[in-house]
């Protein structure tokens, strides 16, 4: 068994509670699993997340990706001294999703003193890649 990368432990329920009254809740994003080195979550492919052609909107994919990466980033730091915010995000949308759920998995690529880089892979219910995203996080010290 591998060792956890997290500075602090949290349950999916605790993280989802923090997402109340945010865009994540509005779009139905839920954290479902926090592993030793990843954060996983889902988002429905339904009218809340669709573009006019009935497929998940690229912006909704980015919300899921940034939510997962931001969750991981903040679990890596001592939040009494630091907080992490998105600095840059990109996404390649490679397959449309028109129903079911999108599942995303965020994994750390780089951990520095002031930045982190995360890769987030989004898949449809059949496990097919629908979007791949890279998220750069700034690690900010409280004043």
Domains of the chain: 12-141 (3.10.129.10)
- The answer to whether the pTM exceeds 0.95 is yes
Distance (Å, rounded) from C-alpha 142 to C-alpha 23? Answer: 24
Radius of gyration of the chain (CA): 15
88 is catalytic: no
- At 7 the pLDDT is 97
44: helix, strand or coil: strand
Ranges assigned E (strand) in 1-143: 30-34, 38-44, 82-93, 101-111, 115-123, 129-141
What average pLDDT does this structure show over 120-128? 98
Residue range 82-100: average pLDDT? 98
Closest CA to 61 of 17, 100, 91, 30: 91
Residue 107: what pLDDT?
Answer: 98
What's the longest Cα–Cα distance across the chain?
A: 46
Q: Average pLDDT, whole number, for the chain?
A: 97
Query: Per-residue pLDDT for 132 more than 70?
Result: yes
The pLDDT-based confidence of 1 (bands split at 50, 70, 90) is low
| pLDDT value for 2 | 74
Burial letters 97-132, b for 16+ CB under 10 A, else e: beeebbbbbbbbeeeeeeebbbbbbbbbeeeeebbb
**Order of strands across the sheet with 101-111?**
30-34, 38-44, 101-111, 115-123, 129-141, 82-93
Tell me the per-residue pLDDT of 27-66, one tens digit each, with 9 for 90 and over.
Answer: 999 999 999 999 999 999 999 999 999 999 999 999 999 9
Identified catalytic residue from 17, 25, 66, 123: 66
| CA gap 87, 55 in Å, rounded | 27
């Amino acid at each position: 068994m591998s060792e956890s990368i997290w500075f602090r432990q949290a349950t999916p329920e605790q993280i989802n509670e923090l997402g109340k009254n945010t865009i994540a809740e509005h779009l139905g994003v839920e954290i479902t699993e926090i592993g030793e080195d990843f954060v996983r979550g889902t988002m429905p492919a339904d009218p809340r997340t669709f573009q006019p052609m009935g497929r998940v909107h690229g912006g909704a994919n980015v919300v899921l990706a940034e939510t997962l990466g931001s969750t991981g980033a903040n679990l890596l730091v001592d939040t009494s001294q630091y907080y992490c915010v998105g600095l840059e995000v990109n996404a390649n949308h490679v397959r449309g999703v028109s129903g079911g759920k999108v599942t995303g998995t965020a994994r750390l690529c780089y951990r520095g003193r002031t930045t982190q880089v995360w890769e987030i892979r989004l898949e449809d219910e059949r496990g097919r890649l629908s979007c791949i995203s890279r998220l750069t996080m700034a690690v900010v010290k409280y004043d």
